[in-house]
Amino acid sequence: MNIQKNYSLKNRNTFGIDVKAQFFVDIAAEEDLQLILTDENFRHLPKLILGGGSNILLTDNFPGLVIKISIPGIEIVKEDKESVFIKAGAGEIWHSLVLHCVERNFGGIENLSLIPGTVGAAPMQNIGAYGQEIKNVFESLEGYYTENVGKKIFNKTECSFAYRDSIFKRELKNKFIITSVTLQLSKSPVLNLDYGTIREEIEKLSGGRRIDELSIKNVSDVICNIRRSKLPDPARIGNAGSFFKNPEVEEEKFAVLKKSFPEIPGYKLRNKKVKIHAAWLIEQCGWKGKRVGETGVHERHALVLVNYGNAKGSEILSLANSIRKSVEKKFGIRLEEEINVV
Ligand code: FAD
Ligand code: EPU
């Protein structure tokens, strides 16, 4: 195991924030994870678990041990007539797992194509996009408590999944390390085309074929195209996707807002609440495309904050706070961060 001291995390987070970890270790096997967690030199240090760094904002040097999880492996662990149960190591790249499944026509995660990051982080915020969330295909996950190094398997109920949320983002943040995730996928996929413009886009590309002749590969391709056209590539400009969650408000409050802002986009949820696109609220406050020093709001998507090169984490946080204040002032809605501030 190669434990590095005073390690720069600049290339380990998609915002490209240049801070240092006191110690850094890259873990590719469960045995090494057990070793490092029980090592007397590191046992009592604060820990930060890291995957691809695509959903974190680092605001300072990290005084402790950063554990990058790179555990590999994709295997079928169980099968029946309808389903296949795929277990993947936490260090696998999420999109590689999607492609692996799409190639074999195992349906369920094609709508989650091209989400950056690792398999291990995916349940952490119950990743979601284009009408699908990982919780809908989730079977179980395995991992270790950082404190006592006890192993545990979590079933779906125990994960407390919700919109961009789970027990791992709350009580167990940096206290439980996910080492593998098992998904239940369908051998006879049904295409999920109900979100936004997917149906329109897929019809354009279908070349006269009927929708029921199309495959999950077609869906994955269309979603990759949509995502590439909307969201900035972190390899070109530092960002972490949506900075805030889409807020939910009571139906009554939405009706009042609608009177003052007839264009406000919202969709009804089952719990008598309405979900509103935070990007629209932010754009209405005039932030879209705005630059503040080395930070800014992306010109194509108002929910994505960017680092133009040398921004500090604290500067991005300060921009986020100004945005939050102006949205609260104009709409009376308080935005909640989606990303993990460290
Ligand atoms: P990291 O950023 O490394 O970690 C995120 C959090 O998970 C941290 O708190 C970390 O401590 C914890 N963590 C990481 N690995 C583990 C582990 N093995 N065990 C326990 N805890 C762990 N998200 C969506 O849901 N939908 C989208 O459509 C979407 N689009 C995006 C587009 C762009 C351009 C970008 C940059 C990000 C986008 N995201 C999206 C956010 C991000 O891709 C996901 O949250 C992803 O799951 C993060 O994976 P990661 O490996 O990079 O996690
Ligand atoms: N919009 C604006 N201005 C903008 C961008 C969008 O007004 O600059 C409005 C438009 O009305 C548009 C609507 O917002 O129709 C929706 O935009 P989009 O489809 O991009 O979805 P989103 O609500 O902004 C959410 C997720 C994304 C996910 C997409 C697709 C959250 C916080 N974000 O974004 O996830 O990819 O839906 O399902 O839920 C992420 O979590 O990092 C992420 C990128």
What's the confidence (pLDDT) of residue 105? 97
Angle between helices 216-230 and 94-103 (to 10 degrees): 150
What's the confidence (pLDDT) of residue 178? 98
Closest atom of ligand 1 to CA, residue 56: 2
Question: The domain that contains 142 carries what CATH number?
Answer: 3.30.465.10
Query: Is 242 designated active site?
Result: yes
Residue 198 lies in a domain: no
Give the tokens for residue 103.
């190639």
Question: The domain that contains 40 carries what CATH number?
Answer: 3.30.43.10
Q: Does 141 share its domain with 115?
A: yes
Give the tokens for residue 184.
């239940």
Separation CA 70–CA 216 (nearest Å)? 28
Residue 331 lies in a domain: yes
Residue 197 lies in a domain: no
Separation CA 121–CA 97 (nearest Å)? 13
- Asked whether 130 lines ligand 2 (CB < 6 A), one says yes
Task: Indicate if the pLDDT at residue 174 is higher than 80.
Answer: yes
Separation CA 262–CA 250 (nearest Å)? 17
Q: In degrees, to the nearest 5, what angle opens at C-alpha 105 toward C-alphas 92 and 30?
A: 20
C-beta neighbour count of 127 within 10 angstroms: 21
Mean pLDDT of 296-308: 97
Task: Indicate if the pLDDT at residue 144 is higher than 90.
Answer: yes
Separation CA 267–CA 292 (nearest Å)? 32
Nearest CA to ligand 1 atom 32: 241
Residue 221 lies in a domain: no
Q: Check residue 237 and report its DSSP letter.
A: S
Q: Does 124 share its domain with 44?
A: no
| Phi, psi angle pair for 100, to nearest 5° | -55, -45
Burial class (CB in 10 A: 0-12, 13-18, 19+), 145: middle
Q: Does 303 share its domain with 321?
A: yes
Q: Does 96 share its domain with 131?
A: yes
- Using the 3D structure, point to which of 51, 69, 87 is the last residue of a domain: 69
What's the confidence (pLDDT) of residue 293? 97
What's the confidence (pLDDT) of residue 85? 98
Separation CA 117–CA 53 (nearest Å)? 7
Query: Is 82 designated active site?
Result: no
- Using the 3D structure, point to which of 52, 69, 86 is the last residue of a domain: 69
What's the confidence (pLDDT) of residue 210? 76
Q: Does 46 share its domain with 96?
A: no
State how many domains the chain has: 3
Q: Comparing C-alpha atoms, which of 50, 150, 36 is closest to residue 91? A: 50
Q: Does 176 share its domain with 107?
A: yes
pTM flag (> 0.95): yes
Task: Indicate if the pLDDT at residue 282 is higher than 90.
Answer: yes
Mean pLDDT of 296-318: 97
Residue 321 lies in a domain: yes
Closest atom of ligand 2 to CA, residue 265: 11
pLDDT class of 217 with cuts at 50, 70, 90: very high
Q: Check residue 157 and report its DSSP letter.
A: G
pLDDT of 310-328, one tens digit each?
999 999 999 999 999 999 9
pLDDT of 261-270, one tens digit each?
999 999 999 8
Residue 137 lies in a domain: yes
Residue 199 lies in a domain: no
Separation CA 90–CA 142 (nearest Å)? 9
Ranges 202-211, 277-286, 328-337: which has the least confidence:
202-211
pLDDT of 98-136, one tens digit each?
999 999 999 999 999 999 999 999 999 999 999 999 999
- Asked whether 51 lines ligand 1 (CB < 6 A), one says yes
Q: Does 55 share its domain with 115?
A: no
Terminal C-alpha separation, the chain? 25
Mean pLDDT of 152-171: 98
Point out the ligand nearest to the CA of residue 119: 1
Q: Does 56 share its domain with 85?
A: no
Point out the ligand nearest to the CA of residue 287: 2
Mutate to test the pocket of ligand 1, among 14, 24, 68, 115 (most ligand atoms within 8 A of CB): 115
Nearest CA to ligand 2 atom 27: 129
Q: In degrees, to the nearest 5, what angle opens at C-alpha 166 toward C-alphas 10 and 32?
A: 55
Q: Does 151 share its domain with 252?
A: no
- Percentages helix, strand, coil for the chain (3-state, rounded to 5) are 25, 30, 45
- Asked whether 338 lines ligand 2 (CB < 6 A), one says yes
Residue range(s) defining the domain that contains residue 16: 4-69
Q: Does 53 share its domain with 97?
A: no
Q: Check residue 79 and report its DSSP letter.
A: E
Average predicted confidence (pLDDT) for the chain: 96
Mean pLDDT of 80-106: 98
Exactly one of 110, 166, 242, 324 is catalytic; which is it? 242
- Asked whether 340 lines ligand 1 (CB < 6 A), one says yes
pLDDT class of 198 with cuts at 50, 70, 90: confident
What's the confidence (pLDDT) of residue 201? 84
C-beta neighbour count of 98 within 10 angstroms: 23
Q: Which residues pair with 296 in a beta bridge?
A: 291, 306
Mean pLDDT of 219-246: 96
What is the distance of C-alpha 331 from the center of its chain?
26
**337 CA → ligand 2 middle, Å:** 14
Mutate to test the pocket of ligand 2, among 114, 230, 242 (most ligand atoms within 8 A of CB): 242
Point out the ligand nearest to the CA of residue 132: 2
What's the confidence (pLDDT) of residue 113? 98
Is 314 in contact with 321 (CB distance < 8 Å)?
A: no
Q: Does 84 share its domain with 62?
A: no
For the chain, give the percent of residues with pLDDT over 90. Answer: 92
Residue 42 lies in a domain: yes
pLDDT class of 9 with cuts at 50, 70, 90: very high
Nearest CA to ligand 1 atom 39: 241
Q: Does 20 share its domain with 112?
A: no
Exactly one of 12, 54, 140, 164 is catalytic; which is it? 164
Type of residue found at 64:
G
Question: The domain that contains 292 carries what CATH number?
Answer: 3.90.78.10
- Using the 3D structure, point to which of 69, 95, 110 is the last residue of a domain: 69
Mutate to test the pocket of ligand 1, among 50, 55, 230, 237 (most ligand atoms within 8 A of CB): 55
Task: Indicate if the pLDDT at residue 52 is higher than 90.
Answer: yes
> Cβ neighbours of residue 301 under 8 Å, at least 6 residues apart?
230, 231, 232, 279
- Asked whether 141 lines ligand 1 (CB < 6 A), one says no
Mutate to test the pocket of ligand 1, among 110, 124, 126, 142 (most ligand atoms within 8 A of CB): 124
Query: Is 43 designated active site?
Result: no
Closest atom of ligand 2 to CA, residue 127: 41
Point out the ligand nearest to the CA of residue 231: 1
